[in-house]
Amino acid sequence: MEGTTQGDPVAMAMYALGLSVLQDGISYEKTHVKQVAYADALSGAGKITDLKAWWTLVNDNGPIIGYTPNATKSVLIVKPEHYDNGVQLFNGSGIIVTKDGQRHLGAVIGTEEFKEEYVGEKVSEWVKEVDVLSDMAKTEPHAAYSAFTHGLQQRWSFVKRTIPGISPLLRPLENSIRNTFLPALLRSHIIGDNERELLTFPPRLGGMGITSPERLAD
C-alpha cells in the first residue's frame, strides 16, 4: 500500500477506498459479474462472456488508479463443459484456465475431486503434526496441550469454515487426536465416546477445549 507505513492498521481501509473507484466501474450492474475484493485479490463469478468483458474493464481501468492486474497469477475456473469456450475466449490473455480447481485465500474452489485432494493433503500434514505433539505430551503434557489448543487446532478451523462438506475427510485427523494425542496427554489407553465428548467442552464447562474437527465440520 503506497503512502502508509508497513503494518499500519489503516492501510487496508485506505486501499479499499482507493480500489472502490475501480469497483464502481466494474460493478455487477455494469458487468453482471458477482465480485469480491480482499486487498488486491479481486475475484469475480459469472458467465464466461461476462467475465471476459469484466476482465477487459479491469485491465483498462485498473492501471489508471495504480492497480495493475497480473494475468499470470489469475485463474479462470470453469465447468468441464465450458472449458473449450473458456480457453478460446481467454486465449492470449495469459490467464490460466482450469476445469479442476484452485486454492483461493486459504480455501479451495473447484470440483469435488480437487477439494478432496486438497483437504487430504492438509489432513496428512496435520496428522504428522499431531504425532509430534503426542510424543511431546509424554514428557511435557502442559506444553503439548497449550501448543495444540492455542496453535495447531486453529490451523484447521479456517478450512472447516470455508470448505463445506469435508467432515468425512477429517476423520483421519480425529482418529489421530483420539487414539494418539489424547492417550499420550492423559496417560490413558482408552478414550470412550463420553470422555471424548467431555473433552470438547471449554475449560469453563469442565472440558479441555480439544474439539473434534470431524464433528465441527458437519
Q: Are residues 73 and 50 in the same domain?
A: yes
Of 51, 75, 99, which residue is a domain's last? 99
Average pLDDT, integer, range 104-122: 87
Q: What pLDDT does residue 1 have?
A: 41
Q: What pLDDT does residue 49 have?
A: 92
Is the separation of the CB atoms in 130 and 173 below 8 Å? yes
pTM for the structure as a whole: 0.73
Of 99, 125, 152, which residue is a domain's last? 99
The DSSP result for 135-165, as a single string, is HHHTT-HHHHHHHIIIIIHHHTHHHHHHS-S
Of 78, 99, 120, which residue is a domain's last? 99
Written as one letter, the residue type at 56 is T
Residue ranges making up the domain that contains 21: 11-99
Q: What is the tens place of the pLDDT at every residue in 35-67?
A: 888 878 889 999 999 999 999 999 998 888 888
Alpha helix positions (H), 27-97 = 28-31, 48-61, 83-89
Q: Which of the two residues, 161 and 53, has the higher pLDDT score?
A: 53
Grid cell for residue 22: 475501480
Q: What is the tens place of the pLDDT at every residue in 8-29?
A: 888 888 888 888 888 888 888 9
Q: What pLDDT does residue 76 have?
A: 93
Q: Is residue 107 part of a domain?
A: no
Q: Is residue 46 part of a domain?
A: yes
